[in-house]
Structure 1
């Protein structure tokens, strides 16, 4: 069955992806980039246009709104729906040009702005289940931003549908749009009391109809190596290159496990995703993932011990390790409230 893009969700999505909302983990502001606020403010305007009068944005960029219960459902517990507007800092989100591939039939999908990028069923088995559907991709020069503007569009489309169909009974519904999820700070200033729902669902999954009830616990780690610089012509016995210390640290990471490219399922990993710096100071940024929070502690100790081992032979070198909590496995909470899963 073909689903033409005449729906509110799809048309909204095609608009939302054109907003550059790439987040920036190096930024000290909140949200980390001004572009996120442009879309967040636009969402407030659109919610008000739908008649959601209390839609608002706070000083941190969190958008919240409420659809009141229909008559007779006022005492039903409020339920929330949440999505994030930011896109990954790893790939450009500027000047996104969405391409609609009509009536997909298994053919190769060539991205026109970079014909070397081709989506093939052989490489992407999930495409086999999409025959007869239209598919949206980026043009080849940027990411698309479906994570998580598809969730944003779905929530907005649902709000529009409920607002225009008051005959559908429902309890109080809370809506939340957040910034900076991709850099691990999406809930940093989220005001749960203001949001007003004890339980909520995040629309940020890969497959239609799929309900995720657990996820990795995640931390970020910054490992800073400090070397000793000297003029290259007089460096013998004196220079200690922080670049080489950082490189040695990465080289000593496990090669046959504990990495995204060697693990699957419930297997945790550590992932060095950025190296930057020079002879005097070099920084390795790491992602830590484990389904059990205690597993993060074990991985953090392993990385700290390894970093200290790398600098130990060099008295003029040092290393600093910073660890920041990103998020935790939702199952640790959901196990205490199984009704959230039962009613999904």
Structure 2
């Protein structure tokens, strides 16, 4: 999953803080856990989103137009600014190739400033098939101090040139950008509404995360159900093992190259994550029972639709294929619990 599935909250309280009144703080205790406070928890104030500006709408429209760009290979002219080139290159310092200085089949947009000054400009004016050297110099403030300020020679092979054409916004283009809008005016209104909804959801997610973390901090687990932490850890590791297999890599090599950690470090982190996951489920279940919050079939379907959209799954079915039903139900119930707690939290402005 691309993001961590987090639970939710919001705030309002106390005349002394210029907030509306709310229910008194409340905790609960069972044989398994003790929560000192889960209602009326105090969190840092999260700033509400401002109004979406016309400039922000235009920027989003341009991004979506860029995604519709058409490309074609160019064979009858030289490279110009804005082209995408496919190149092989070998960089040498004092006649020796250096780490990270070589690549084959590299796609580079001219003008993107992806390389040191002068590199991209050196390609302009060449044709596909050209081979040439470029003499440059790493800037003094280059991130890798080993190369900073040193002269470098890049031997470059220009394999191909691709031209990218971005369409202009028009009523004719709108159907490619939207299923519902019929013209430019409707499309821009749709984009603005979407940006407003995204900003509101981001605000809620930040606030919900603050509140749930506070509830987690206020909870002591007296005893974990036997085998639950181990089961959660094994499930987590199995996901990464499957991911490694999809890369055709051994698990040990995968975590070292893709995550930058050893297998031992992974196991430690997985154990911590598993414990936190089980803790969260225990808290959710206890509060849900106390507050009589239940997950109906209708509520479940509604929540997993939100989850699928939030984590960019193609469909609810795609989500169900990749995530076990038990985990989805736990997440959906957590969402309902935190949403309810959000109505009783206290947002405190900084310094108060």
Q: TM-score band, normalised by the shorter chain?
A: under 0.3
TM-score for both structures, normalised by structure 2: 0.23
TM-score for both structures, normalised by structure 1: 0.23
Larger fraction in helix: 2
Which of the two has higher C-alpha Rg? Answer: 2
